[in-house]
A and B are shown apart, each in its own frame.
Chain A
Amino acid sequence: MTATIVSLRNVSRGFAGGVLALRDVSLEIGRGELVAIVGPSGSGKSTMLNIIGTLDRASAGTVEIDGLAVENLKDSQLSALRARHIGFVFQHFHLSPGVSALDNVADGLLYTGTGLRERRERAEAALCEVGLAHRLDHRPHQLSGGEKQRTAIARALARRPLLLLADEPTGALDSTSGEGVVQLLLGLHRAGTAVVVITHDRDLAARFDRQAAMRDGQLVEDTRRSIR
């Protein structure tokens, strides 16, 4: 068990059409660390988060997650890695319409090899944890924006990930519900999960232990530059 959960070394990512979304980025994140990623739109924040979350692969450089070199892993092994260790929270929630909050969260455990009953039990516990014990049977359209995002967080944390990645989780919320979501993320960090949050909000970022700033695909500032 390594102390580092994410390690990017000289990572670049180019897209068809010649866009270089990431240039030579090196970044280490320790277990249980709390990191805010800031930067203007188009600076490569989401691209980096996707690579950290193994949803995307680097064009150059090396990526290690929990000590495993991603480039040596097959697609199905990356899936298993995500199922076990990585949780995602998106700006637009991505909840299934017409499915109750409980089943939305339980569905997030589908690829962990657990049966329906256990998935529902864990989902209920997770929803209670995010303060939605009274919303188990509500469908997404019956939930407020903040409640939707808390449901999405419950879905990610039900798997007890080592690493939680949130791409502008408060971007679609008013400040009050945004604050509730931030409190949840901070709470997860306190419980030992490494939490990486992309945000436009400088004030929010300031409350995080560590901030990394990006511009034009490069890491231009990191309040805890890794040694080397």
Chain B
Amino acid sequence: MSTLQPAKLLAIDVVRLAAYGLTARPLRVVLSALGIAIGIAAMIAVVGISTSSRAQLNQLLSELGTNLLSAGPGKSMFGEAATMPPESIAMLGRIAEVEMVSAIGVLADARIYRSNRIPVSQSGGLAVYAARLNLLETLSAEVAVGSWLNEATANYPAVVLGARAAARLGIGRGLIGQQVWLGGRWFTVVGILAPVSLVPMLDLSALIGWPAGERHLDFEGDITTLYLRTAPDAVEAVRSILAPSANPKEPNEVDVSRPSDALAAEAAADVAFTGLLLGLGAVALLVGGIGVANTMVISVLERRAEIGLRRSQGATRGHIRMQFFGEALLLALLGGGSGVLIGALVTIGYAHVMGWPVDIPLWVPAGGMAATLLIGGIAGLYPAIRAARLAPTEALSVG
């Protein structure tokens, strides 16, 4: 006599059963998969957008370099802005690890206007600086239109405008060569800068040549801010000796910073925000999971006759459990899969609009699918157990 051993369901048959169960009720399947899809898509997009934005900042940082140091005016003991002596440029240049030194000096009394007919009070908050010729190179900044100052124009009343300064003055691309009213005389606009990522303050500034300042606007040559590039591995070493070297008499009044730190901090800053949105995505996912559980419970109730029939044909409780559990998993996977797809598309679209590189680390879709399986498994467990517990005769008596 043969032992009574129930046959195992082939894996392909479990999948087929699940697919059959779902295709029989397409609308309900779409609606309950949608819940999961929204949750997963939200989480993928949030993480994808934030990693892409970080990738963009990191790319920017590596282009701009993290070896730029600035030494600016701290407040002196009496609260007035301190300056540094002109000799500090030469002094810092003698340090072996310093590759490049540049500087700007503020012309505190100079204002810039579109023309000499604008009332003095409407200066637009723009600052005027005298700049060393190597400033652009030191800051990895670029000219958007026109040209940067050169040996010749540095002596003349010529001005280069920061990107936002040009916009405020209403100087467009075509207006190179235009005259502006600066410090009580006419200056010619020779160029407009592209935004300076490392020193955004310069976007709202007008830059003139060092000698031009001295010749035309009574600039005394005191340095407001020093910018220097160090050897890549000597940033900290130079940083520690920068203040005493820049202003030996009053080292405490020198404010040393690393401009790239601000960008790096920006990259870190959206982590908190990302966490919040991620939490919202998780809530959506949870609600989606409850939707799947609900759908499956209803499905079990409606399909009692089918369950009874299968039991009469030799299905064990385990077979029935596996069928409904598989169906819940497949339902969740459908939602999760489309969620990953939607989330990735949203990320790609957003990054495209922002001009960022797309960066979706592999763990993001993998994590999304894992979360989906977990949710689907939990959601399917109770309905599956309930389906398997149904007595065959009770199930059959429905139809």
Q: Which of B3-11, B118-126, B197-205 is the contact stretch?
A: B3-11
Residue of B nearest to A67 (CB): B1
Instruction: Give A96 to B318 CA distance when docked, in angstroms.
Output: 21
Instruction: Give A90 to B393 CA distance when docked, in angstroms.
Output: 12
Contact B314 A111 (CB under 8 A): yes
Residue of B nearest to A103 (CB): B20
Contact A111 B20 (CB under 8 A): no
Contact B314 A112 (CB under 8 A): yes
Contact B6 A96 (CB under 8 A): no
Instruction: Give A76 to B312 CA distance when docked, in angstroms.
Output: 12
Contact B7 A112 (CB under 8 A): yes
Contact B393 A50 (CB under 8 A): yes
Contact A98 B312 (CB under 8 A): no
Q: Within 8 Å of chain A (Cβ to Cβ): is B196? A: no
Contact B9 A75 (CB under 8 A): no
Q: Within 8 Å of chain B (Cβ to Cβ): is A186? A: no
Task: Indicate whether A83 sits within 8 Å of B317 (C-beta atoms), given known contacts A92-B399, A94-B399.
Answer: no
Instruction: Give A21 to B85 CA distance when docked, in angstroms.
Output: 110
Residues of A within 8 A of B8 (CB): 113
Instruction: Give A67 to B2 CA distance when docked, in angstroms.
Output: 12
Contact A99 B20 (CB under 8 A): yes
Q: State which size class the interface on B falls in.
A: 20 to 34
From residue B394, how far is it (CB to closest CB) to chain A in Å? 9
Q: Within 8 Å of chain B (Cβ to Cβ): is A110? A: yes
Residues of B within 8 A of A55 (CB): 308, 311-312, 392-393, 396
From residue A64, how far is it (CB to closest CB) to chain B in Å? 13
User: Interface 1/0s, chain B 10-26, versus A by CB < 8 A?
Assistant: 10110011001000100
Q: Within 8 Å of chain A (Cβ to Cβ): is B194? A: no
Q: Within 8 Å of chain A (Cβ to Cβ): is B257? A: no
Instruction: Give A97 to B17 CA distance when docked, in angstroms.
Output: 14
Task: Indicate whether A76 sits within 8 Å of B305 (C-beta atoms), given known contacts A90-B399, A92-B399, A110-B13.
Answer: no
Residue of B nearest to A56 (CB): B393
Q: Within 8 Å of chain A (Cβ to Cβ): is B309? A: yes
Contact A111 B12 (CB under 8 A): no
Instruction: Give A55 to B393 CA distance when docked, in angstroms.
Output: 6
Contact A81 B313 (CB under 8 A): no
Residue of A nearest to B395 (CB): A55
Q: In chain B, residues 314-356, which have Cβ atoms closer than 8 Å to a Cβ of chain A? A: 314-319
Choice from B16, B308, B316 contacting A76 with Cβ under 8 Å: B316
Contact A81 B4 (CB under 8 A): yes
Residue of B nearest to A109 (CB): B313
Residue of A nearest to B1 (CB): A67
Residue of B nearest to A152 (CB): B309
Instruction: Give A113 to B9 CA distance when docked, in angstroms.
Output: 7
Instruction: Give A76 to B8 CA distance when docked, in angstroms.
Output: 11
Q: Within 8 Å of chain A (Cβ to Cβ): is B258? A: no
Q: Within 8 Å of chain B (Cβ to Cβ): is A80? A: yes
Choice from B12, B20, B317, B319 contacting A116 with Cβ under 8 Å: B12
Contact B312 A73 (CB under 8 A): no
Q: Within 8 Å of chain B (Cβ to Cβ): is A140? A: no
Instruction: Give A67 to B9 CA distance when docked, in angstroms.
Output: 27
From residue A112, how far is it (CB to closest CB) to chain B in Å? 6
Residue of A nearest to B399 (CB): A92
Instruction: Give A99 to B306 CA distance when docked, in angstroms.
Output: 13
Q: Within 8 Å of chain A (Cβ to Cβ): is B114? A: no
Choice from A56, A82, A94, A99 contacting B314 with Cβ under 8 Å: A82
Residue of A nearest to B317 (CB): A75
Residues of B within 8 A of A79 (CB): 6, 311, 314-317, 319
Contact A76 B318 (CB under 8 A): yes
Residues of B within 8 A of A78 (CB): 4
User: Interface 1/0s, chain B 278-316, versus A by CB < 8 A?
Assistant: 000000000000000000000000000110111111111
Instruction: Give A82 to B399 CA distance when docked, in angstroms.
Output: 20
Contact A77 B9 (CB under 8 A): no
What are 21 of the A-B contact pairs (CB < 8 Å)?
A53-B312, A55-B312, A55-B392, A68-B1, A76-B6, A76-B317, A77-B6, A79-B319, A81-B314, A83-B6, A83-B7, A86-B312, A88-B313, A94-B305, A94-B396, A94-B399, A98-B24, A99-B20, A110-B9, A116-B16, A159-B313
Q: Which residues of B contact A (CB under 8 A)?
A: 1, 4-10, 12-13, 16-17, 20, 24, 305-306, 308-319, 391-393, 396, 399
Q: Which residues of A contact B (CB under 8 A)?
A: 50, 53, 55-56, 67-68, 73, 75-84, 86, 88, 90, 92, 94, 96-99, 108, 110-113, 115-116, 155, 159
Given A80-B5, A110-B315, A116-B16: 18 more A-B contacts, CB < 8 Å: A68-B1, A77-B6, A78-B4, A79-B314, A79-B315, A81-B4, A83-B313, A84-B314, A86-B312, A94-B305, A94-B308, A94-B309, A110-B13, A110-B17, A110-B313, A111-B314, A111-B315, A111-B319
